[in-house]
Amino acid sequence: MKPVIYGLAGQQLSADERAFFKDADPLGYILFKRNCGSRDQMRALTDSLRDLSGRSDVPILIDQEGGRVARMQPPEWPAFPAPGAFDTLYDVAPVSAIEAARANAHALALMLAEVGVTVNALPLLDVVRPETSDVIGDRALGGEPMRVAALGKAVLEGLRRGGVIGIVKHMPGHGRGKVDSHKELPVVDASAEELAIDIAPFAALADAPMGMTAHVVFTAWDKERPATLSPTVIGEVIRTRIGFDGLLMTDDIDMKALSGTAGEKAAAAVAAGCDVALDCWARMDEMVEIAERLDDAGPETLARLERALASVTNGAEEADFAELIAKRDALLAVG
C-alpha cells in the first residue's frame, strides 16, 4: 500500500485510473465536486473504489465543511452552514452551540455515509486572528482556543456518530497565516510562546483519529521549511508537544505554497514524518511519479490507519437526518 491519497478525474473510474490504482494500491482516495453527480452515481463510484482496493474500509475522503467548502451541492444535496455559524452562536449560548455543531456534523456524516464516503476533512482547529487569511475565515470555529477545541470535539463526535472519521486541520495552525497557502507560502514569525495559543486546540484533541498539516513556515521552529516538510515541526511540535499520534496527512501537495515536482513534494513530506501525501488533482503523470517515489507504507503508518478506522467501528448511531437538521436549525435560531 502506497502512503498516498489520490483524487479522481470524473464521476466514474477511467480504464487508465482503474489499472493504475490497482497496481499502485494507494492508501485512500479523495472526492471533489467533479466526482459528485448524484446519490446513485456516487455510491457506484465509492463501491468501485472499495472493490478495486479489496478493502471494504478503504478511506474515501471529501471536504464537506459547509458554507463555501462543499463538494456535494444543491439541488442534489442540502446546503449546510459554514462552521463559523457555531462560533457566532457560542457568543450567546455556548451549550447550544456545541449541541448544534454536534447535530450538524452527525447529519453531515449520515449524508456522506449514504454515498459511501468514510472520512470528512473537518474540523478546522485554526485559531483565527484579525490578520488571518480569508482562505480560513468563516471555515474556522473561532478565535479562542478552548472554544475552538470544544466545538471541534463536538464536530468529531457528531461525525463519529454517523460512522465517518474526522480530520483535525491544519496542524499546527493556519490562523496566523496572512496569505492563502493555495497561492503562496505563508511565513509566521510569532514566538514559540505565542504559538502556544495556536497549538492548544490540537493538544486538547490530540486523540483525534486523523490530522492534516499546514503548508506554513513557523520561523520559531523551522526557518526554512513549511510544517508539511519539516521533521522538526512534525516530530517535536505535532507528535511531541501536541501529542498527536493519529494518521497525519499533508494538505494538498499541489498547493503553490510548496515547490518541486509532485513526486519530490510527496517524498519530502513522508520523509519529514507525514504518514500520507494528499494529491488531489488526478493528473496521471503526477500520480505515477508519486507512486514511483514512495516506498510502501511502514508499520507505524499502517497501525495509525488501523486505529483511525477502528474509531468508528460500531460507533454509528441510529438517527433521523431531518430531525438532526431541525435540531440544528432550532439551536442556531437562538443566536
Q: What burial letters (b/e) apply to 262-280, b meaning 16+ CB within 10 Å? A: bbebbbbbbebbbbbbbbb
d(CA 44, CA 176) in angstroms, rounded, equals 41
CA–CA separation, 78 and 325 (whole Å): 10
Of the candidates 25, 57, 180, 182, the residue annotated as catalytic is: 182
Which candidate in 87, 126, 251, 279 is catalytic? 251
- The reply to whether 174 belongs to the active site is no
Q: Which amino acid is at 25?
A: D
**Residues in the chain, total:** 335
Sequence-separated (6 or more) residues with CB below 8 Å from residue 233: 172, 218, 221, 222, 225, 227
Q: Is 182 a catalytic residue?
A: yes
List, in order, residues 6 or more apart from 193 with CB less than 8 Å away: none
Distance, in Å, from the CA atom of 335 to the CA atom of 230, rounded to the nearest integer, reads 42
Active-site residue set:
182, 251
